[in-house]
Amino acid sequence: MKRIRRFLCIGLLMLPLGLSAQYIGQHQSQIKAEPKITVKAYSFDLQDVKLLDSRFKENMNREGEWMLSLPVERLLHSFRVNAGMLTNKKDSKTKMPAPLGGWEALDMELRGHSIGHLLSGLSFQYAATGNILFKKKIDSLVSGLAEVQTTLNEGGYLSAFPQNYIDRNIQGKSVWAPWYTLHKIVAGLIDAYWYAGDTQALDVVNKMALWAYQKISPLNQDQLALMLRNEFGGMNEAWYNLYSITGNPEHKKLGDLFYHHAVLDPLAAGEDKLNKMHANTVIPKITGEARAYELTGDNRDKAIVSNFWDNVIHNQTYVIGSNSDKEHFIEPGKISKFITGYTGETCNTYNMLKVTRHLFTWDANVKYADYYERALYNHILGQQDPKTGMVCYFTPLKAGAFRLYSTRDSSFWCCVGSGFESQSKYGEAIYYHNDQGVYVNLFIPSVLTWKERGLKLRQETTYPEDATTHLTIDSASAENLTLYIRYPGWARNGATVKINGKNVKVNQSPGSYITLNRKWKTGDKVEITYPITLHLEPTPDNPKIAAVMYGPVVLAGEMGTEAMPAHAPYHDATDPYQYYDYDYNVPANLVRSLKINEENVAEALKPVNGEPLTFKTINTINGTPVTLEPYYNLHRQRYVVYWDLY
């Protein structure tokens, strides 16, 4: 039976990143729809949250510098080639920048995807920092893309590859994911409009939507099913986001046309058929269904999203919050059998966090915030090399593996693109709100400004190095307001809360929210302490294989650089696929076993004086001591995350 979707002009809950209802109110002239569902938590806009000094801000700054360093001419080169535009200046004294390399090279069918990610990343950076350099770069890129679109003169089509790629996709012929690439461009243009106020971006994407509607709306169900077998990213999400801005029913229908029955129908029925599916092909489709639910209130869409999230978290997720082996979902629950050098494609976690954000706004359930913290710290934060700012594709968990990082202008893997976004929007999920108050979900140094309620909240902490977080009310209105402070599920040793130095009784339990309601005054201070302890997290299918954790932080054993290839840990620019089927050449004498169990973790691992979050083993199988530190800090050397226990 064909799936019937409603095409009413309804619903905006969350634009990209889940912008708050208050922000929507400030930009009501830009909105042509209203929410269709009731939610329990709203996001704040990135401009309302300013990061203070921390590793998160350092990562964001490094990413911003990298994005600003990429010349506009190089980024637009393949688009101009596709449109037959001039790419070489007649003045022989002036050399045009060379085309980009890796997945953006002129002979790569996925070329053009990075500029979409870049537009999103630049937009997030502009919203988060107010730095006009990001705005100028966005405007230059959008202006260049608009010129290409006009020159192509193909009914609004815009890409760095010919429209024939889309035709091949529709016909079921081999081609590398053209709709996936167009999704990145459409999403980037929408973000440029919303976060940076670039109205030309909205004009360009509206023309792209007109082309897309005329291209695929005449297709029958069999033709659509054939087309959707190829990876299309979150094309449904992008069209739904555009619809939420424009109210144009054609944009809503475009999102509906990307409903992939073969993948989504089993999820709606609660069936698990994920094994061996390409993970990052599936996850963005779920985000699209989350937007569909918000725009229609259709509980079937909600079931798809909820069933998928629960399934992946319980059956597919490694200790660092990542999933997939060689980009594919694994046999449910069999984590110990898939601890390889190709685990944790970073795009997957980027997309899982997007899904998680939607789910949290619907239910305000702390389990979503707990997962978000785990994946953010242990995977996303550690994706970036703090020495160079480069990022990794896989996050390998094989004992003795190491991270392999991109180059500055000759890799451009999908995870480089999603990294432009992930490393630029750390402020997105620290705080949420309802009508009564603010959720403090993440313990990241930052300042929240909630203009509508007259609240300015400062959070200062070195968490997780220190178990205590300090909240200061820099300004407040005269009305009552509630602080909902996440009580993490891992905080098994209780919590201590003080207001202005006085202890407050905590009635809640781990896995909930500590609620503090009062008329706050400027200068009020809240101090929250969650004692952090060591514990093991075994794989679900083999209790003799486990990772070591310190509270929410995954610890990894330092294993040095013995026998690492000469170019490592950086990608060899001559091979854009080097990250795949990579030989880590792990030394045979690598220590991968610990004499430890859940009852003696504190005795088996001793803290290293003067080195926060660093521990040294008392006993290993061969007697060689091992130093463990946070996985997100362990770069440019081998490591062990999952240990054999004895």
pLDDT given for residue 16 in this prediction = 41
What the block records as the tokens of 501 is 């130095």
End-to-end CA gap in the chain: 55
Residue carrying the six token digits 């993440």: 442
pLDDT given for residue 93 in this prediction = 55
pTM for the structure as a whole: 0.94
* Residue 283 exposure: Cα atoms within 13 Å on the Cβ side: 27
What the block records as the tokens of 78 is 């393949």
pLDDT given for residue 30 in this prediction = 56
CATH architecture designation of domain 436-529: Sandwich (2.60)
pLDDT given for residue 2 in this prediction = 32
pLDDT given for residue 567 in this prediction = 80
User: Of 387, 402, 393, nearest to 66 (Cα)?
Assistant: 387
Q: Using one digit for the tens of pLDDT, what is the confidence trace for 534-563?
A: 999 999 999 999 999 999 999 999 999 999
pLDDT given for residue 582 in this prediction = 81
Q: Where are the alpha helices (DSSP H) in 501-643?
A: 601-604
User: Of 270, 257, 264, nearest to 284 (Cα)?
Assistant: 264
Query: Which residues of the chain fall short of a pLDDT of 70?
Result: 1-31, 33-35, 88-96, 573, 576-580
pLDDT given for residue 575 in this prediction = 72
What the block records as the tokens of 148 is 């290409």
Residue 481: Cβ within 10 Å count: 22
Phi, psi of 148 (to 5 degrees): -65, -45
User: Of 186, 176, 173, nearest to 213 (Cα)?
Assistant: 186
Provide DSSP, 239-289. Answer: HHHHHHHH--HHHHHHHHHT--HHHHHHHHTT----TTSBHHHHHHHHHHH
pLDDT given for residue 583 in this prediction = 85
Distance CA 96, CA 112 (A): 19
Helix axes of 249-257 and 199-216: crossing angle, nearest 10 degrees: 60
Is the peptide bond between 587 and the residue preceding it cis, with omega within 30 degrees of 0? no
DSSP 578: T
Q: Where, residue-wise, is CATH 2.60.40.1180 in the chain?
A: 436-529
Distance CA 618, CA 613 (A): 16
pLDDT given for residue 8 in this prediction = 28
Reduced 3-state DSSP string for 313-353? HHHCECCCCCECECCECCCCCCHHHHCCCCECCHHHHHHHH
